[in-house]
């Protein structure tokens, strides 16, 4: 869209949120150590998850539920999304945002933003 409409991206906005989930979630380490036991608990073929669904600071005020985080980098007043990243349930924004910026910069092929506003 940025190329198509000739948009300039002098600054971008990054924000994150946590999403609470119900049910049983297995850590990647547990899968590697106890693969046969884990497979018995699941009917379909099991693949390790790239993020850890775990307890963390709950913005939903539901500390009893596990969660994962979602970070979004947008541009313009309209909030047009340029980049999205999932994270562990206990990942802090202040640790995740710098890593996200580096990942975005390595993948983004257009003009790099001058300013990153983190919310």
Reference 7, options 73, 56, 78; nearest CA is: 78
Q: Decide: helix, strand or coil at residue 89.
A: coil
Facing residues of 54 across strands? 67
More confident residue, 85 or 55: 85
Distances (CA, A) of 89 to 78, 93, 118: 28, 11, 19
**pTM assigned to the model:** 0.72
**Side-chain-facing half-sphere of 110: CA atoms under 13 Å:** 14
pLDDT tens profile 59-93: 778 889 999 999 999 998 888 899 999 999 888 89
């Amino acid at each position: 869209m940025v190329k198509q409409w000739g948009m300039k991206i002098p600054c971008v906005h990054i924000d994150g949120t946590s999403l609470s989930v119900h049910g049983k979630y297995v850590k990647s380490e547990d899968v590697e150590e106890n693969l046969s036991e884990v497979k018995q608990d699941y009917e379909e073929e099991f693949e390790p998850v790239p993020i850890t669904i775990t307890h963390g600071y709950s913005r939903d005020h539901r500390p009893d539920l596990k969660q994962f985080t979602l970070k979004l980098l947008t541009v313009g007043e309209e909030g047009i999304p340029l980049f999205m990243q999932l994270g562990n349930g206990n990942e802090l924004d202040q640790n995740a945002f710098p890593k996200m910026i580096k990942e975005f910069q390595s993948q983004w092929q257009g003009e790099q933003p001058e300013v990153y506003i983190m919310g």
